[in-house]
A and B are shown apart, each in its own frame.
Chain A
Amino acid sequence: MDRPTPSSPTPRGPRRSRHWGDLIFAGLVGLGGAGVLVLVFAILGVLLYQSGLSFRAFGWQFVIGTQWDVRDNIYGVVPFVSGTLITSAIALVIGFPLAVGSAIFLTTQAPRWMRGPVGTVIELLAAIPSVVYGFWGLYVLGPYMRTNVEPALHRYLGWTGAFNGPATGTDILTAGVILAVMVIPTISAISRETLAAVPISQREAALSLGATNWETTRVAIVPYARSGIFGATILGLGRALGETMAVTMTIGNRDAVPTSFFSQGQTIASLIANELTNSNGPLQYSAIIEAGLILLFISLLVNVLARLLLWRVLRVTGGSTE
């Protein structure tokens, strides 16, 4: 602003303005920033400290151990890591096409009067408390899965081995489907915003070459928005990885590595919700905290990988950089 130029003699006035408002504002903002950092490190510190007992007892065996045995006090995290990853994968496989499809439909195909209202309804799905999803999963979706969906899956896909075992409706698959419904609003809303932000000049470029509506969407609009759609998907994945209540209510809560989509299982989040407050001793408590730490690392890893991937894609081919 009023920094002296090198050629003129340095004036004696203050280099920085000293308005009280500025000072107070800078202080408040700085405090906020520092506070967030302190909070992050405090959480990390507590997790590290409290998982120490388990880490000393099992070392890396904890990360690759497939047993979670409360009686013998042997703890391995694989049942919950696999439960977390499988349910989240189901959520994305089902949720992504529905969410992105709805976003594309609403931004490019739907009549104008329909766009706002339907978009809002989809976003409202995000406002439903997760305990309500859990409730619905337990009493509506679960029974339907048990009597209709799972027997059908077993009949047609049983040969793959992934759809075997008794159909109970409270299992990995049901939890994954609930998660799919829960990630749709996140992915759909953000995708919709990125798609709507594609410059009209890109659309007109395609149209003026004689592209049909569908070709315009496919060639000009979706590629331009892909990084935003990708980011939306990662956000949705983040939500699926950490979702607790709805999963706890529908996944069956068994501390074992799932062998089929119909297995009862446990995610890291549901493990913490189920066992932390009634753990049988300090070692189990510490092991649960260490599992939480691993969930944190998984989320972090997903985000970092996503960023790297995005950066590479954009560097090679251009596109919107949001």
Chain B
Amino acid sequence: MNGTKMRVERLSAYYGKTKAISEISVGFPERKVSAIIGPSGCGKSTLIRCLNRMHETLPRTRVEGQILLDGEDILELDPVHVRRRVGMVFQKPNPFVTMSIYDNVSVALRFNGRHSREDTDKAVVRSLQQAALWEEVKDRVDAPALSLSGGQQQRLCIARALAAEPEVLLMDEPCSALDPVATAKIEGLVNELKNSYTVIIVTHNMQQAGRVADYTAFLYLGKLVEVGATADLFERPKERLTEQYITGRFG
């Protein structure tokens, strides 16, 4: 059993006066894939955005509780440093539209200090390879990022996140805008990534959680209902709510 890389304790997050998630406590094991599932609006994105302090970049938002990364409360650290250690891939691909494929990846290195031209080249290639995009773009890394298809753009965003060499990778429904082939590529990728990263992935798709996640947490109305090994949660749910949700009998 690996140690716990990240752990939240009694975490609540607000938008203005609205409490989007309420007193959630859950751990995310190191070098494993943890999935967060639950119906729309239950607070999955809010939870994951707390983990790299993106939540508080929106106006009038607030967080209560503790978010521990290697036992240290990230709410007490500089958010810029936290985000260098905890990377994020968003639901909709968001490459920098004015940049080339190469620059989209190398810019992540620029934020993380100076690198020689040679190191940058190597890191860009390595990240694109890890994101399973290199073969498709190796002849045109200077082309605009927007010349890529949606699925390629999403893998570019993954490469960009990986180039920053985070310890934890957060993915918020990374496949929701993609077709089954691109989805399969990204799922394969997630399986690879857990050899070196701790991955936390939000998904709407329970088959996807079943395929990629070692652990799964089920959220409902801003509260954590149940968390456990993915197989256990799907086959022997402890809570009625979980059972109803995963069998599609809901509401």
Known A207-B57, A209-B107, A211-B111; judge A318-B146 contact (CB<8 A).
yes
Shortest A194–chain B CB gap in Å is 13
CB < 8 Å neighbour of B94 from A112, A205, A215, A320: A205
Smallest Cβ-Cβ distance to B108: which chain A residue: A209
B96: A residues at CB distance < 8 A: 202, 205-206, 219-220, 223-224
Extra A-B contacts (20), CB below 8 Å, given A208-B87, A208-B88, A223-B98 = A202-B96, A202-B97, A205-B94, A205-B160, A206-B111, A207-B54, A207-B57, A207-B83, A208-B83, A209-B107, A209-B108, A209-B111, A210-B81, A210-B83, A210-B164, A211-B80, A317-B98, A318-B145, A318-B146, A319-B98
Establish whether residues B90 and A205, one from each chain, have CB atoms under 8 Å apart when the complex forms.
yes
Chain B residues whose C-beta falls within 8 Å of the C-beta of A208 in the assembled complex: 52, 54, 83, 87-88, 90, 161
Chain A residue nearest to B164 in the complex (CB): A209
Contact of A209 among B97, B100, B160 (CB under 8 A): B160
Interface mask (A289-322 → B, CB under 8 Å = 1, otherwise 0): 0000000000000000000000000001111100
Whether the pair A224, B98 counts as a contact (CB closer than 8 A) is yes
Q: Specify which chain A residues have a CB less than 8 angstroms from the CB of B108 in the assembled complex.
A: 209-210
Q: Are B90 and A318 in contact (CB under 8 A)?
A: no
Indicate which residue in A204, A224, A318 contacts B54 across the interface (CB closer than 8 Å). Answer: A204
The 8 A CB mask of A204-231 against B (1 = contact, 0 = none) is 1111111110010001100110100000
Mask of B45-64 contacts with A, CB within 8 angstroms, 1/0: 00000001010010100000
With A209-B83, A210-B112, A211-B80: A204-B90 Cβ-Cβ less than 8 Å = yes
- The CA-CA distance from A204 to B170 in the complex, in Å, is 13
Contact of B144 with A by CB under 8 A: yes
> What size tier do the contact residues of chain B reach?
20 to 34
Q: Which residues B107-143 have CB closer than 8 A to chain A?
A: 107-108, 110-112
Q: Please determine whether B84 and A318 come into contact, CB atoms closer than 8 angstroms.
A: no
Neighbouring A residues of B92 by C-beta, 8 Å: 201
Of all chain B residues, the one with the shortest Cβ separation from A211 is: B111
Interface size on A, residues (CB 8 A): 25
Contact A319 B97 (CB under 8 A): yes
A220 CB contacts on chain B under 8 angstroms: 96
* Inter-chain contact B97/A210, CB cutoff 8 Å: no
Residues of B within 8 A of A206 (CB): 96, 111
* B residues in contact with A201, CB < 8 Å: 90, 92, 94
Query: Do B57 and A219 have beta carbons less than 8 Å apart?
Result: no
CA distance A316 to B145 in the complex (A): 11
Residues of B within 8 A of A318 (CB): 97-98, 144-146
8 Å CB contact of A210 from B98, B100, B111 = B111
For B94, what are the chain A residues with a Cβ–Cβ distance below 8 Å?
199, 201-202, 204-205
CB distance from A178 to the nearest CB of B (A): 35
- The reply to whether the CB of B157 lies closer than 8 angstroms to some CB of chain A is yes
- For A319, list chain B residues within 8 Å (CB): 97-98
Which residues from chain B contact A316 at a C-beta distance below 8 Å? 144
B205 CB to closest chain A CB, in angstroms?
22
Q: How far is the CA of A306 from the CA of B81 in the complex (A)?
A: 41
> For the complex, is B29 an interface residue (Cβ under 8 Å from A)?
no
Complex Cα gap A204–B95 (Å): 11
Measured CA separation A48–B57 after assembly (Å): 58
* CB-nearest residue of chain B to A205: B94
Q: Which residues of B contact A215 (CB under 8 A)?
A: 110-111
9 tightest CB-CB pairs across the interface, nearest first?
A: A210-B84, A201-B94, A208-B88, A223-B98, A210-B83, A205-B94, A211-B111, A209-B108, A318-B146
The residue of chain B having its C-beta at the shortest distance from the C-beta of A199 within the complex is B94
Q: Which of A29-53 contact B (CB under 8 A)?
A: none
Which residues of chain A from 98 to 134 have a CB within 8 Å of any chain B CB?
112
Distance, CA A215 to CA B94, complexed state (A): 17
Query: Which among B52, B57, B59 has the greatest number of chain A C-beta atoms within 10 A?
Result: B57
